Amino acid sequence: MKLTAPVPGGPCWIELSTSDVPAAKSFYTALFGWRCETDPREEAGGYTMAHLGDDRVAALSPVYQPGQPPAWTVSFAVEDADAVTEKAKAAGGSLLVGPMDVFDEGRFAVLADPSGAVFSLWQGRAFAGADLFNEPGTLGWTELATRESAPALAFYTGVLGWTVTPSETYPQWGVDGEDFGGLLTMDENIPTEVPPHWLPYIAVADVDATAATAQSGGGDLVMPPMDIAHSHRIAVVRDPQGAVFGIYRAGDEG
């Protein structure tokens, strides 16, 4: 993506909620070279920060509700989480958690858009978001998959002020024209039980090698490595606990 740091409206963080944090730490460390550190404070609830070197790039946490499926969540930076939450609710979104403070780090809310796709808002204070983007092992793209593209375009542009690079097949989201993600309209080829969702794509040096490592570590491929427009190479992976994420070849963003 063209963004290289957290900016208002842009993606700033990705977080995995998983049924087995120790197993997830092992899987993603082998896959991306992450160094994972769990916050020892009881009130942190097992929140685990993933680093590349000294750079904070993602987080892992236990699922917090019975029956909650393991999943990755994308957070978008905002200057006022409460105000944007109200804006989202007025536009047909649903509030799932918050808004609430996280120590002195910031304030967050978890919402679902009108189609049910879940995302988070993050009002940074001591912590603005990821320290690094677009490098192997870090967030490089975000994708909304939905069956109703027109309402999604209206919702996110209205609530978060995103710009849109138009396309008949794959519109792209941006902040002031700096694209950071895309809109995939799910068609009849995608099973009806797949709900609308946000999918983070993590940059890797070699998509095929990373996909093979994921499989050897107990994951499976939702979509095997393939080339898309202008030789971008991507794959979609399901981790051993069931959370889905994308990978793409670093340097293909833009």
Q: What is the pTM of this model?
A: 0.95
Q: Superfamily assignment of 11-124 in CATH?
A: 2,3-Dihydroxybiphenyl 1,2-Dioxygenase, domain 1 (3.10.180.10)
Q: Which of 142, 137, 136, 135 is nearest to 156 (CA)?
A: 142
- DSSP strands (E only) in the chain: 11-18, 35-38, 48-52, 55-62, 71-77, 94-102, 106-112, 118-124, 139-146, 163-165, 172-175, 178-185, 197-204, 220-228, 232-238, 244-249
Whether 230 shows a pLDDT value over 70: the answer reads no
- Give tens-digit pLDDT for 167-206: 989 999 999 999 999 999 999 888 899 999 999 999 999 9
Domain at 139-249: CATH architecture: Roll (3.10)
Q: Looking at residue 1, what is its pLDDT? A: 87
Strands 220-228 and 232-238: antiparallel
Q: Which of 78, 13, 30, 8 is nearest to 219 (CA)?
A: 30
Do residues 73 and 119 lie in contact, with contact meaning Cβ atoms separated by under 8 Å?
A: yes
Kindly state the average pLDDT of the residues 90-118.
96
**Secondary structure letter of residue 115 according to DSSP:** T
Domain boundaries, the chain: 11-124, 139-249
Kindly state the average pLDDT of the residues 57-76.
93
Q: Looking at residue 65, what is its pLDDT? A: 80
Report which residue type is found at 44: A
Backbone angles phi, psi at 170, to 5 degrees: -155, 80
